[in-house]
């Protein structure tokens, strides 16, 4: 089965920066990829880049490891080589990926939380931001509506669209109820807030969402400063959009090699 660069791009569209909750393709983190097809199967060589050389090693490893897993899962792929460029831990991370050593095997005594713990932390943040976007849409649509009232809003009350769809997916990722009767504004354990706590809960959620959006904007700018021309590989997000919902075709450097 022939594997194309487009197949690889689509697979990488599901790999997210854990802190920014956006696909690495949208952020411009994919520097280049090569696909070489042979009767034995396709070999993919992928190079990733980050906004700075001191980005968190945990996040860097997570994105690189998820990229290798996503591409390896493609039918017809026999080998995947992922190289993280220009990071202060590039040599360590690349060696660990090549040996399939895993996170703890790569960082050994320097490893902190497990990757799964990191994933859950950022899944919760992504859910909080998606929840706030949906409720803020309701408040903007009806300026006379009191903040306290959103504490009783249920999924079935939300208008259809990408923000609601994104919220439902994030609830499902956390194992939270996703049926129409489920209350929207809940804590990490799925518990609704009493009326007097709703305004503060919404403000905290808004702070999380603004932090995610602001960091994403900042990281895009840093990448453009560090790598000339990388802006062509980025997809800008409008405020309130949910970029992880769609895969985009990007004009990053692609080289396909066929026997």
Per-residue pLDDT of the chain (259 residues; tens, 9 = 90+): 899 999 999 999 999 998 888 899 999 999 999 999 999 999 999 999 999 999 999 899 999 999 999 999 999 999 999 999 999 999 999 999 999 998 888 988 666 666 788 788 889 999 999 999 999 999 999 999 999 999 999 999 999 998 999 899 999 999 999 999 999 999 999 999 999 999 999 999 999 999 998 899 999 999 999 999 999 999 877 554 444 434 333 334 444 444 4
Contact 53, 59 (CB under 8 A): no
Instruction: Specify the pLDDT at position 129.
Output: 95
Instruction: Specify the pLDDT at position 39.
Output: 95
Instruction: Specify the pLDDT at position 210.
Output: 92
- Following DSSP, what letter does each residue of the chain receive, concatenated? ----HHHHHHHHTT-EETTTTEEHHHHT-EEEEEEE--TT-EEEEEEE--SSTTS-HHHHHHHHHHHHHHHHTSTTEEEEEEEE-S-TTHHHHHHHHHTT-HHHHHHGGG--S-HHHHHHHHHHHHHHHHHHHHHHHHHHH-TTS-GGGGGG-BGGGSPSSHHHHHHHHHHHHHT---STTSBSSB-TTSPBPPGGGHHHHHHHHHHHHHHHHHHHHHHHHHHHHHSTTGGGG-----TT--GGGS------EEEEE--
Q: How far apart are CA 167 and CA 162, in angstroms?
A: 8
pTM (2 d.p.): 0.82
The pLDDT tens digits for 140-171 are: 999 999 999 999 999 999 999 989 998 999 99
| C-alpha distances out from residue 244 to 14, 121, 259, Å | 8, 17, 35
Instruction: Specify the pLDDT at position 115.
Output: 75
Instruction: Specify the pLDDT at position 174.
Output: 94
Instruction: Specify the pLDDT at position 249.
Output: 33
For 164-173, b where at least 16 C-beta lie within 10 A, e where not — what string?
bebbbbbbee
Which own/partner contact pairs does 93-99 have at CB distance under 8 Å and 24+ positions apart? 93/57, 93/60, 93/61, 93/64, 96/61, 97/64, 97/65, 97/68
């Amino acid at each position: 089965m022939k594997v194309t660069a487009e197949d690889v791009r689509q697979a990488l569209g599901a790999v997210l920066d854990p802190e920014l909750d956006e696909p690495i393709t949208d952020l411009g983190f994919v520097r280049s990829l090569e696909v070489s097809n042979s009767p034995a199967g396709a070999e993919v060589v992928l190079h990733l880049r980050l906004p700075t050389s001191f980005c968190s090693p945990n996040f860097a490893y997570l994105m690189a490891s998820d990229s290798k897993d996503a591409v390896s899962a493609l039918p017809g792929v026999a080998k995947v080589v992922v190289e993280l460029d220009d990071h202060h831990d590039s040599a360590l991370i690349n060696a660990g990926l090549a040996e399939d050593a895993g996170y703890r095997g790569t960082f050994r005594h320097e490893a902190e939380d497990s990757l799964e713990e990191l994933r859950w932390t950022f899944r919760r943040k992504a859910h909080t931001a998606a929840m706030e976007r949906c409720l803020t849409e309701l408040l903007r649509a009806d300026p006379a509506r009191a903040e306290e009232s959103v504490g009783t809003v249920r999924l079935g009350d939300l208008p259809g669209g990408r923000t609601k769809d994104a919220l439902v997916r994030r609830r499902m990722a956390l194992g939270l109820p996703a049926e129409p009767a489920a209350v929207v504004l809940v804590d990490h354990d799925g518990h609704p807030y009493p009326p007097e706590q709703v305004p503060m809960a919404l403000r905290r959620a808004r702070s999380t969402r603004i932090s995610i959006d602001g960091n994403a904007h900042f990281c895009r700018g840093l990448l453009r400063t560090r790598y000339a021309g990388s802006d062509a590989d980025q997809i800008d997000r409008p405020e309130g959009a949910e970029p992880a919902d769609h895969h985009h075709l990007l004009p990053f450097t692609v080289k396909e090699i066929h026997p």
